[in-house]
Amino acid sequence: MDSITPWAGPAIIAAVVTMIGQFVLTRLSRTQEREKDEEKAWTDAVMPAQEAADDVVARFFDILVRKRAFSVAGFDSAALAKGDVLKKPTLELTTVFRLVKFLASVTYLQRKLPVSGDVMKLRQADLYVSNKVRMALKGNIAGSTLKLPTETQQCIGAKFLEITPNHSPHELDFYQFVKSLRTDTEACELANTAASVLAFGNDLTELKPEQVAFVIGLIYLIDFHQDLLNSSKWEEFRVFLVSVVRGWNRSSGRSDVFLYSPRDLSTNNYIDSYARLDFLKEHPLKRKWRLKMRQNRGRKLTSNGLRKKKGEQTVELRHTESPGDVFKALVTVV
């Protein structure tokens, strides 16, 4: 008996260590599984809207900066059936498809919004698409006459989700979109309704409320895409769009419009025009650091706007300048 006693202490310690180790490994495994589930939920619910937002911004970069001719006159099922739109789709049709896919992705996000995970990030995503972008498309900014009410946006999103096999924006492609317009009267009517909010020109020298409202919507789309992906892809375009809204505020004779808080477009500090994260509670210094740290490809964010280095040339886009002057700087670096 005495010969066994000296081994009792080490054996107990080994058993305790083993038990603690198993407990820690179990906790780590559960944490990793939860993180994977949360990442999967985010990818499923939010990423389609981010990708669709990126596509809409890219198209209107072509329209507003590269000056691609654009005129929405509406679609007719019979004409679409006769036309060779799948081989040579028109700019108008593909643009409406991108907007429709975004609205479908927003509807899907609202249905599938995860109830666990990074709650602040999820609320920020919902803020952009359910509040900010939606408000701009409703025409409640700058007195726009081109209005897409909240319920109409929801109807468009729900209708085009319905045409996919699993009611998912991941599955909504251009072929299904065109097929639905050819065969489904309601789909064609809703596509025309979506197109109606785009019925404005690309000449921003004489600003109209309809242009300004959509420009603000584009800024929200850019922020939705960039803030939640820590990206700087559209920074140059964003400075130009902000200068457009500031130009409207100077010339319209109406109350100044703003993005996230009163007078955020009235100051000379460009960084004031960005939203705070953590559901609008982020400290200004933290926001400034975050925005500066995400810049790449020769970009440097400043209080005046953006410096962009291209080869040996450095161009500065200043948000306080006229849209025309910012545009001239923009086209030299894109």
Q: Which of 114, 164, 144, 331 is nearest to 236 (CA)?
A: 331
The C-alpha atoms of residue 280 and residue 264 are separated, in whole angstroms, by: 13
Average pLDDT in the 262-266 region? 93
Q: What is the pLDDT of residues 177-191, one digit of tens each?
A: 999 999 999 999 999
Q: Which two tokens stand for residue 16?
A: 């305790």
- Amino acid 228 reads L
Per the listing, tokens 């985010």 go with 42
Instruction: Write down the pTM of the prediction.
Output: 0.87
Task: Give the SS3 label for residue 166.
Answer: coil
pLDDT higher than 90, residue 159: yes
The C-alpha atoms of residue 75 and residue 102 are separated, in whole angstroms, by: 19
Q: How confident is the model at residue 301 (pLDDT cuts 50, 70, 90)?
A: very high
pLDDT higher than 90, residue 147: yes
Average pLDDT in the 195-217 region? 91
pLDDT higher than 60, residue 31: no
Burial class (CB in 10 A: 0-12, 13-18, 19+), 113: middle
User: In what helix (H) or strand (E) does residue 306 lie, and over which residues does it extend?
Assistant: strand 305-310
Q: Which of 86, 100, 97, 95 is nearest to 68 (CA)?
A: 95
50-54, 112-116, 235-239, 276-280: least confidently modelled range:
112-116
User: What is the side-by-side strand order in the sheet with 305-310?
Assistant: 299-302, 305-310, 313-318
Q: Which of 58, 40, 64, 62 is nearest to 114 (CA)?
A: 40
Q: How confident is the model at residue 23 (pLDDT cuts 50, 70, 90)?
A: low
Measured in degrees and rounded to the nearest 5, phi and psi for residue 73 equal -115, 0
pLDDT higher than 60, residue 28: no
pLDDT score for 205: 82
Per the listing, tokens 């054996």 go with 11
| Angle of the 235-251 helix axis to the 323-330 helix axis, nearest 10 | 170
